[in-house]
Structure 1
């Protein structure tokens, strides 16, 4: 039973820039650079028949390439930080692509995604990092300057059922043109 999700791949030059943020935060489990991505729609553990239906549905999407802007380093989890992320600007083309995927997945019976879409790249999972340590980390490194990349395709990833962080495999790619 595959665990699937859609996302944008992070270009290697941007991934290397983001990798420079690694280290200096006790309690962080850093994501391997080759597994950096931006999740658009988590699909979950599904059977092979549903996976084929997901693929056929995603093939119908027609959108133009667009620019993604990484704006800042941040954390998710508020007073109990659980992830260190590089947040992206929620520009219309990105939000519309995600919303279209959400509608299409619900149409074929995949349950609605309960979380609000916040475009980001997860850099580290935080298990025991204190809120103060995370705040200190962000105050010294949170100046991440704006980086951009052109999204020319989105992909269908598979992942092992694990604690997260990969490895992820591109099962199919869907061009934006």
Structure 2
């Protein structure tokens, strides 16, 4: 089985800037450079033939390169407890349109729709139950506003879960072009 997701990778300078923001939440598991991405579509566990179909479907998508910027921070909650902090990605329209194209291509090969609202973001940290409060980090970085950056391709990643968290391998790359 292959645990897959489709994502965009910010350029190295943006990733370095994000790494410099990390800190200030006791017990947080901060992401590494290799883990920083913007998920377009989580796929989950699939067999090798389905993974091959995913690759073919992604190759059919036509979309122009994106100009994005980081904008604000937030956190996801699970059972009324923060479990991740993130940096937002703007503008929403272009990246949301690409998300829909990816979702539709995967639906055409028989995968279910993602089914949840899409919020473009870069996860900065995972928060175990023992993590300290996030309010200080969120307040300190509420006005986060990054320089625009261009994304010229999307990637298919395979995720491997381990005792230190997830590691990701890019197993496919498709250029964004009109």
Q: Same fold (TM over 0.5)?
A: yes
> Structure 1: 5+ residue runs without aligned partners?
none
Q: Say if 1:92 and 1:53 are closer, same or farther in 2 by CA, change over 3 A.
A: same
Q: Which residues in structure 2 correspond to 1:84-99 (within 5 Å)?
A: 84-99=85-100
The yes-or-no answer on 1:121 pairing with 2:130 is: no
The yes-or-no answer on 1:174 pairing with 2:168 is: no
156-165 or 13-22, which deviates more? 156-165
The structure carrying a bigger strand percent of its residues is 2
Structure 1 residue 129 displacement after superposition: 2.9
8 Å CA contact 2:7–2:154 kept in 1: the answer is yes
Structure 1 SS opposite 2:148: strand
In structure 2, C-alpha distance between the alignment counterparts of 1:166 and 1:150, rounded to whole Å: 26
8 Å CA contact 1:90–1:119 kept in 2: the answer is no
Q: Say if 1:100 and 1:165 are closer, same or farther in 2 by CA, change over 3 A.
A: farther
1:21-56 deviations in Å (ceiling 9; x for gaps):
111111211111221000000111111101111111
| Structure 1 counterpart of 2:147 | 147
Structure 1 SS opposite 2:82: coil
In structure 2, C-alpha distance between the alignment counterparts of 1:163 and 1:113, rounded to whole Å: 27
In structure 2, C-alpha distance between the alignment counterparts of 1:161 and 1:105, rounded to whole Å: 23
Structure 1 SS opposite 2:74: strand
Structure 1 SS opposite 2:85: strand
1:73-132 deviations in Å (ceiling 9; x for gaps):
2111184111010011243221111001111111211122132110000000011335xx
8 Å CA contact 1:90–1:118 kept in 2: the answer is no
8 Å CA contact 2:161–2:167 kept in 1: the answer is no
Structure 1 residue 164 displacement after superposition: 8.4
Q: Say if 1:61 and 1:40 are closer, same or farther in 2 by CA, change over 3 A.
A: same
> Structure 2: 5+ residue runs without aligned partners?
none
8 Å CA contact 1:72–1:142 kept in 2: the answer is yes
